[in-house]
Structure 1
């Protein structure tokens, strides 16, 4: 898988955080969403996300549990992005398993069943084309 904004180490730290925040979300690819989202973000936004990942990763490497990180702005930003990806029904390219909407039952609503998410604005889906 190609990364657009993050290093492998940053991506892994983010994927671990996403899974801790939204258990079961790893398969859908919330870290892929964040990496792709910030690829086209203005530099200050991209830098803020990368700095947040680095801060949380350093704290975790030092043995700080997620519960103690929850009040930090860096963690809160990453948590919001993880939730946005999963509950926004993002699916990484090539993944055809259950999405966040499927897991929560939201996808069963008739109006939702008629809709299809368009993620083509994200780098990962533009490239997967």
Structure 2
């Protein structure tokens, strides 16, 4: 039994192959199957017909360090499919990194839930 099935989307798997129509099965937040799952059971089904299903994008030049002050959810990135960001690579930041473990714990806890979809 799957937690979620993404049904009928155009899958781009990141390997360089051409996209293909398929279902995607997810268990415990992990992709466990990419195949025809029409006879499989799931707690939730999301119709992705006419949509692209692909790995999250990596944004290698962001200014989320500033954006977090006025938009704590960092909403534009998840809406555009960005799931990973690289920060501090342009040599300027208004929110410098900290060696304080409490700050790191807060950021790790909240960064992983930012933009998360819960069925």
TM-score for both structures, normalised by structure 2: 0.22
Which structure's residues are more often strand, by fraction? Answer: 2
Higher normalized contact order (CA 8 Å, seq sep 6+, divided by chain length) = 1
Structure 1 length-normalised TM: 0.21
Q: State which structure, 1 or 2, has the greater radius of gyration over its C-alpha atoms.
A: 2
* Structure with greater helix percent: 1
